[in-house]
A and B are shown apart, each in its own frame.
Chain A
């Protein structure tokens, strides 16, 4: 028997959440969920771990701050200390107060762009990428659960379908792949 992928289409995020909860309780693995907007509370049900995007942003920010400190030190203290009315210019700590705006802006610049680029790459959303959502309605008003038979060897495909029919499902589509 060929592997099958089953798409269960729902009309409301709450109905989908109920169905997903029921399936997972019965030991069925939910492959993925497609929705037109974020469904709050679906992540723990289908076993998604928390995203690490925040950590990525922090690391890029720390990198940006370090680079900015290094840059301002090299340019304004080491390479060419400017003499502005005889103000002290020999040591970083004497000048750092005036560099704070630049340090801050550069930190934010790196944190925001580093995270945004990581986000685009991790999501596989880059210019020219094809949309791989199973049904065009899933970006409009339908909420879809994706299940794969190969991941659910403990359950017969018919049993899964029957289980889905017990939920308030709108339609069930099956595809060979």
Chain B
């Protein structure tokens, strides 16, 4: 049996048995939902409906209803796309990369982080689709045999790489998530008592029995999927960054984009995990599983990736200045950006992404539930500004001063963005109500090695 060093803080607090873990995870599903859940779902649902309305309006009128203009032809749409994809990265990082690194603390957060990933990638996919204008031709992005002469996709284009990257990433994440969910659904199937719930989890659990061979295959499949998903995580945001990096726009055309975007994605993704878990651990009473130590571990990841991002900003600032080219004077990291008309966006980025997360270097801050929750919101905002700055600031000073302009979002821009947040939270709230929010069968494997009441106790030993 796996033994854990005594000085490591326990990952499961209080006295828990295997049955207690099942009961704790099943409680939010079996019990009546708290009023707060209905209120939150109603609010999120209304915002989601408004967003759907905005999207339908956009499709019927065309993307002229956005605030785009001839100079700034990408703005909130692609900002939101990159923001959502970035948020999605934490889920796969937690479940795949941390599995390969044998980080046991991931078990308490991976399920909800993966759900977040899937919903975030869904929201991300909305933006390029509606940005096409004619969404009914969206299937053109796939290399399908057709009768329009020989009309194939352009495999040299970063935009097409994105299609492959995002669709692979989404579908593999869904499969990975669901394969982990099957045994937990089976646990619920055998645990719940209401007839409709029994029926629901009977279907969802696919007839999982949990015999030795099934578990052996389960472990192998989890490991191989983690191995496949790990390069996938890094490739997806690298490819997203290449949408910019392979272009010739000053400020976008930068070789450090792929690693810097990946770090930024993990940075914002972990912030979103913190935002969601901060609320969930209280409302679903998961304090025993999502502990102060978990929050600290996640904050350390935010610190490290935030540091990488800060170094990338500094590099971009220096390079923009060092080239001495006038066009680089107004990139998103430049003196022009810091002092020009968009200086508020520039400083919002610096404050939210560098200065505020720097407080996590203090142990008091990074072990505080309240402050890490506040910082997670700030980081989420900051990462939205990062993408806004990269896109709008690099575009707003065109090559000719006659093309210089500002971007003003229309109500459809705002409505679509808020709408995706509403849809995201609606899906997430439904997930929190009907799905096992902790990977309970994984947690049971560490109960006897890392449970508070078992640590240091003499365990029933087998003769090796």
Contacts and interface: CB of A to CB of B under 8 A. Distances in A.
B408 interface: no
B445 A37 contact: yes
A103 to B, nearest CB: 9
A21 B462 CA distance: 10
Interface string B6-50: 000000000001110010000000000000000000000000000
Interface in A68-109: 71-72, 75-76, 79-80, 82, 84, 95, 98-99, 101-102, 104-106, 108-109
A124 to B, nearest CB: 7
B2 to A, nearest CB: 8
A39 B156 contact: no
Given A32-B211, A109-B164, A131-B205, 8 more contacts: A36-B22, A39-B212, A101-B235, A105-B161, A108-B172, A108-B228, A122-B217, A139-B210
Interface string A12-23: 101101100100
B156 to A, nearest CB: 4
Given A101-B235, A140-B19, A141-B17, A133 B225 contact: no
Contacts of B209: 34, 131-133
B152 A37 contact: no
Interface in B138-166: 143, 150, 152-156, 160-161, 164-165
B463 A18 contact: yes
Contacts of B187: 36, 139-140
B22 to A, nearest CB: 5
Interface stretch (A48-56, A148-156, A158-166): A48-56
B461 interface: yes
Secondary structure at chain A's binding surface: helix, strand, loop or mixed? helix
A101 B459 contact: no
B207 A129 contact: yes
Given A14-B1, A132-B209, A141-B17, A36 B444 contact: yes
Interface in A9-64: 12, 14-15, 17-18, 21, 32-43, 46, 48, 50-51, 53-54, 57
B221 interface: yes
A38 B445 contact: yes
Interface stretch (B71-79, B116-124, B175-183, B394-402): B175-183
Nearest to B207: A129
A35 B176 CA distance: 21
Secondary structure at chain B's binding surface: helix, strand, loop or mixed? helix
B218 interface: yes
Interface of B: 1-2, 17-19, 22, 143, 150, 152-156, 160-161, 164-165, 167-168, 171-172, 175-176, 179, 182-183, 186-187, 189-191, 202-203, 205-221, 224-225, 228-229, 231-232, 235, 239, 242, 441-442, 444-445, 448, 459-463
A46 B216 CA distance: 12
A125 to B, nearest CB: 4
A120 B238 CA distance: 32
Given A53-B217, A79-B150, A98 B156 contact: yes
Contact of B224 (A39, A115, A127, A139): A115
A115 B225 CA distance: 9
Contact of A36 (B152, B155, B168, B441): B441
Nearest to B225: A112
A82 B217 contact: no
A48 B216 contact: yes
Contacts of B235: 101, 104-105
30 contacts: A14-B1, A17-B462, A18-B462, A33-B211, A34-B211, A35-B210, A35-B212, A36-B210, A37-B441, A37-B445, A39-B215, A40-B1, A41-B462, A76-B152, A79-B150, A101-B164, A105-B161, A105-B165, A108-B172, A113-B175, A123-B214, A129-B206, A133-B186, A133-B210, A136-B191, A137-B190, A139-B190, A139-B210, A141-B18, A141-B19
Contacts of B220: 51, 53-54
Interface centre among A42, A54, A105 (most CB of B within 10 A): A105
A105 B444 CA distance: 34
Interface size class of A (residues with CB under 8 A): 35 or more
Contact of B206 (A42, A48, A120): A120
A6 interface: no
Given A14-B1, A139-B186, A38 B219 contact: yes
B207 A130 contact: yes
Contact of A116 (B156, B175, B202, B461): B175
Interface centre among B22, B154, B217, B242 (most CB of A within 10 A): B217
Contacts of A126: 206-207
B155 A72 contact: yes
A65 interface: no
B272 to A, nearest CB: 24
B210 A71 contact: no
Contacts of A124: 207
A147 interface: no
Given A71-B143, A132-B209, A116 B221 contact: yes
Contacts of A34: 209-212
Contact of B156 (A84, A119, A132): A84
Q: Give the 3 A-B CB pairs with smallest separation, nearest first.
A: A129-B207, A141-B18, A136-B190
A112 B228 contact: yes
A119 B171 contact: no
Interface centre among A37, A79, A129 (most CB of B within 10 A): A37
Contacts of A38: 215-216, 218-219, 445
A43 B216 contact: yes
Contacts of B217: 51, 53, 119, 122-123
A121 to B, nearest CB: 11
Contacts of A136: 190-191
